[in-house]
């Protein structure tokens, strides 16, 4: 896996993966950024949300669950750890749409966060990760 980060200006950067996918990163205005992209800490939250969503969609497909839509809202509470900050807690809120069985949805979330999602496994060492969900039909 390889990511290339190009400096655009000030603290504004663009990251590109090997497949050509791009994402913009930036710092807050108070440290000289333009706020024209995700902060690196926001990327961590996006990473756990995206990683778990990919797992859950695949698991629900295998369970023959008719998922129509999925939204993931991720919130992180940072704490200072000396010269840097880290997430003390990360909460994921999954909003499912479809005629889904609640037990299968909960099982899919548990499997993702506890077994398959590499991002949650990396972050759980220093963060308390929790979730809640709702199902809309």
- pLDDT tens digit at each of 137 positions of the chain: 999 999 998 899 999 999 999 999 998 888 888 888 999 999 999 999 999 999 999 999 999 999 999 999 999 999 988 889 999 999 999 999 999 999 999 999 999 999 999 999 999 999 999 999 999 98
Place of tokens 């039909």: 137
Task: Confirm whether pTM is higher than 0.85.
Answer: yes
83: Cβ–Cβ under 8 A, 6 or more apart, which residues? none
Q: Which among 71, 115, 61, 122 is positioned nearest to 93, based on CA atoms? A: 71
- Three-class secondary structure of residue 68 per DSSP: strand
Give the Cα-Cα-Cα angle 78, 94, 49 (nearest 5 degrees). 50
Q: CA–CA separation, 75 vs 19, rounded Å?
A: 29
81: Cβ–Cβ under 8 A, 6 or more apart, which residues? none
């Amino acid at each position: 896996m390889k990511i290339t980060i190009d400096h655009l200006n000030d603290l504004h950067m663009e990251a590109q993966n090997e497949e050509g996918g791009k994402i913009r990163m930036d710092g807050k205005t108070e440290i000289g950024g333009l706020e024209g992209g995700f902060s690196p800490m926001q990327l961590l939250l996006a990473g756990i949300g995206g990683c778990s969503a990919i797992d859950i969609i695949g698991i629900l497909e295998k369970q023959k669950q008719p998922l129509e839509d999925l939204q993931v809202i991720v919130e992180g509470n940072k704490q200072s750890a000396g010269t840097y900050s880290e997430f003390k807690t990360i909460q994921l809120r999954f909003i499912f749409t479809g005629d889904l069985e609640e037990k299968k949805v909960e099982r899919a979330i548990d499997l993702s966060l506890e077994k398959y999602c590499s991002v949650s496994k990396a972050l759980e060492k220093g963060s308390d990760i929790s979730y809640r969900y709702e199902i809309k039909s």
